[in-house]
Structure 1
Amino acid sequence: MSEEAQQRLREALKTVAVVLKEGDTPFALAGSYGLWARGAPEPVHDVDFVVAEEDAARVERLLADHGLEVQQPPEDWLFKVWQGDAMVDVLFRALRVPVTREQLADVDCLEVESVLMPVLSATELMAHKLGALEEHACDLGKVLPAARAVREQVDWERVAEETGENPFADAALHLLRRLGVAPERPNG
């Protein structure tokens, strides 16, 4: 991705965050940009925010009312916001589970590109990243640098509990333990 395209993505991140803050609805930066805000390598695809499922329709209207292009894709767990060619995903379900306002309390307010915004905890972000691994999307080349960068911020046992049903997440955790990124399980 070119530096100009990367800058447009960062501008879209800031624009959406400012609109969401003005809307007074709980939200948080999520996904790879959430990890980036916590020290991981910068992603090149899109920005992810999460909102509670009960607030999704209102947030969608809010963003559209601020002149952003909002699209409803076939997936029933998010909508997309475009600022030019920069895409922002707004998720209201994560790993097939509705996002709740209570979950959005597990955030830290961090300055991201000069905008103070809520960011999901590193533990929640890694649980989402590992939980999303599956047969057609299992690129550990993206997981390892992010996990290494935020490893001290993560409750790895909680990540293991939250992703325990996913064999791809289990394999990734095994590798992270073998590499010394995540600690060995207490019982060996």
Structure 2
Amino acid sequence: MREALRHSASALKAAEVPFALAGSYALWVFGGPEGSHDVDLVVPEASVEDAAEALAAAGFEIERPPEDWLFKAWRQGVLVDVLHRLLGAPVESACLDGAEEHDVLGIRIRVLEPTVVMITKLLSLSEQYCDFGALLPYARAVREQIDWQRVRAETADHPFAETFVHLLDSLDIIG
């Protein structure tokens, strides 16, 4: 997965496609566990085709699933999800402006801040997917770097997210 991350980031940088690292690998950059499922990148909705072309030119196989908020790029059996909508809202350049630049595997790239990643992870919880056990190690590892007041405010009407934050409070992981 690290090689897929390196190659996808290099291809997008070379093509001057704006992007940021998201998901579990973004939290990994800040000290969380390393992702084990896929690599998540976000691009502005207006840059989707440029991103797909850049990744295809770099040897990725592009898949257009029925979901209208991402495309998938495969390389040597490893998946890179390229999201252009987060929680139903189009990714815009302003979303990437809040991302910080970090050296990731020898490449300088933007990485979504942990608070934003945690909010998107919590708001994606549903009756079909509600794995608190998968989220707990990330929350524990990067807890000091997350604005929990903001998380609470932006997830206040989402019962799964509220329950997870309550669990973190009860376990004395966050204050």
Matched, 1:30 2:7: no
Offset of residue 174 of structure 1:
0.8
TM-score by length of 2: 0.95
Offset of residue 20 of structure 1:
1.1
8 Å contact kept, 2:7–2:58? no
TM-score by length of 1: 0.89
Offset of residue 34 of structure 1:
0.8
Distance across 1 between alignment mates of 2:41 and 2:93: 13
* Aligned with 1:138 (options 130, 134, 148): 130
Matched, 1:170 2:149: no
Offset of residue 118 of structure 1:
0.8
Partner of 2:36: 44
Could you list the runs of 4 or more consecutive aligned residues of structure 1 that deviate by over 3 angstroms after TM superposition? none
Structure 1 residues not aligned, in runs of 5+: 1-8, 184-188
Alignment of 1:140-159 (within 5 A): 140-159=132-151
Alignment of 1:71-150 (within 5 A): 71-150=63-142
8 Å contact kept, 2:85–2:91? yes
Offset of residue 65 of structure 1:
2.3
Offset of residue 25 of structure 1:
2.3
Percent identity (aligned): 47
Partner of 1:5: none
Matched, 1:179 2:150: no
Partner of 1:64: 56
Structure 2 residues not aligned, in runs of 5+: none
Q: State the one-letter code of the partner of 1:60.
A: A
Offset of residue 164 of structure 1:
2.2
Give me the CA root mean square deviation: 1.1
Distance across 1 between alignment mates of 2:43 and 2:56: 16
8 Å contact kept, 2:59–2:75? no
Distance across 1 between alignment mates of 2:143 and 2:30: 10
The count of residues paired between Structure 1 and Structure 2 equals 175
Distance across 2 between alignment mates of 1:37 and 1:43: 10
Q: Secondary structure of the residue that 2:40 maps to in structure 1? A: strand
